[in-house]
Amino acid sequence: MNEDLDIPYLEGRHQLNRDFPFKIFRYSSPLLKQSLHMHDYVQIAYVRKGMCNHQMLGRSLTVSQGDLFIIAPGTGHSIRAIEDQAFELILADFSPELLEGHLGPMEDALKRYLTPGPASAPHSWLHVGKHRQPLVLQLLQDMQDEYELKEVGYEFAIRVTLVKLLMVADREYRAVQRKPSRQPVAAEREPIEEARRYVHDNYSQDIPLEHGAYIANMAPAYFSHMFKHVTGQSFIDYVNEVRIERAKALIRRQSLTVTQIGFQVGYRHLSHFIRTFKKRTGITPTEYKKTFGASAGPKEERGMNV
């Protein structure tokens, strides 16, 4: 596959047992670097510990303990290790037909997770709350034990446990869907405000999303979701906003070069600083300096009063 074309290749269900199309395994490798691919079966991916990168539905997420993905057939995705970050995934692969006739009264609610198409997309990612993580981990462990021991009735036990796991995920998704209808409560806003204060105090340093998540004591993917929910913009956009506003103030008040100012507000590469500055202001730092810089004299005051 040519990764530059960003075209997913297909992994078929022939990799699963024909009589009982299910498998579950754990994966942990600092060398993991999947190409974009899709399956014609369902894959559940749970981050048991550590941190890695998951690309899916045009989004690239840094995921960590408690993040759960239900990847419907035909959904392009890839999982990759992050340098110097250990992780462990639990992956459960199964054919949608495995659960036919086993969903009972939950059939309408759960089938959307198993069916190709846009209906499954909004429900494909979930950060499992700390109170439910032990339950999710136990359900996955139960399925792995049944799959490895293959005692009499293991197929039935796996089906029942798999349905239970999907029900837990569905209820968690519904809880998340209810949250946007209200303003975040103080308990939800405070960790995000703490991260914002950290950005204002440390904008000259490297501040990856993972660092903001650490300050807020949240998993990175959940922090990214909550930060945008609370502030209306992504964490990276917020960091850039703080840096560029500070850069504008430095240009207006000090006789520093554009390179010096870019470095002072946290950009290690001049081209990145210039590109970000122009994206946010419409002009380059040099053009801004000519109009509003400290050496502009009276022209600066007239410009600032407009």
Q: What is the pLDDT of residues 26-69, one digit of tens each?
A: 988 888 888 889 999 999 999 998 878 888 877 777 777 788 99
- Predicted confidence band of residue 300 (pLDDT cuts 50, 70, 90): very low
Q: How far apart are CA 53 and CA 51, in angstroms?
A: 7
The pLDDT assigned to 3 comes to 40
All CATH 1.10.10.60 domain ranges of the chain, comma separated, are: 186-305
Closest CA to 46 of 160, 119, 135: 135
- On average, the pLDDT of the chain sits at 84
Q: How far apart are CA 261 and CA 266, in angstroms?
A: 9
Per-residue pLDDT of 262-291, as tens digits, reads: 999 999 999 999 999 999 889 999 999 888
Q: Are 105 and 83 in contact (CB under 8 A)?
A: no
Residue 296, pLDDT > 60, answer: no
Fold of 3-181: Jelly Rolls (2.60.120)
- Calculate ∠ Cα 276-279-284, nearest 5°: 75
Q: What is the DSSP letter of 34?
A: P
Residue 161, pLDDT > 60, answer: yes
- CA distance to 186, 240, 306, per residue, from 37 (Å): 41, 32, 53
All CATH 2.60.120.280 domain ranges of the chain, comma separated, are: 3-181
Residue 257, pLDDT > 70, answer: yes
Residues facing 296 on adjacent strands: none
Residue 205, pLDDT > 60, answer: yes
Closest CA to 65 of 87, 85, 43, 82: 87
Residue 193, pLDDT > 90, answer: no
Per-residue pLDDT of 116-150, as tens digits, reads: 865 555 567 887 877 888 999 999 999 999 999 99
The pLDDT assigned to 90 comes to 97
Q: Are 129 and 189 in contact (CB under 8 A)?
A: no
186-305 in CATH: which number?
A: 1.10.10.60
Cβ-based neighbours of 194, under 8 Å, separated by 6 or more = 215, 216
Residue 5, pLDDT > 50, answer: no
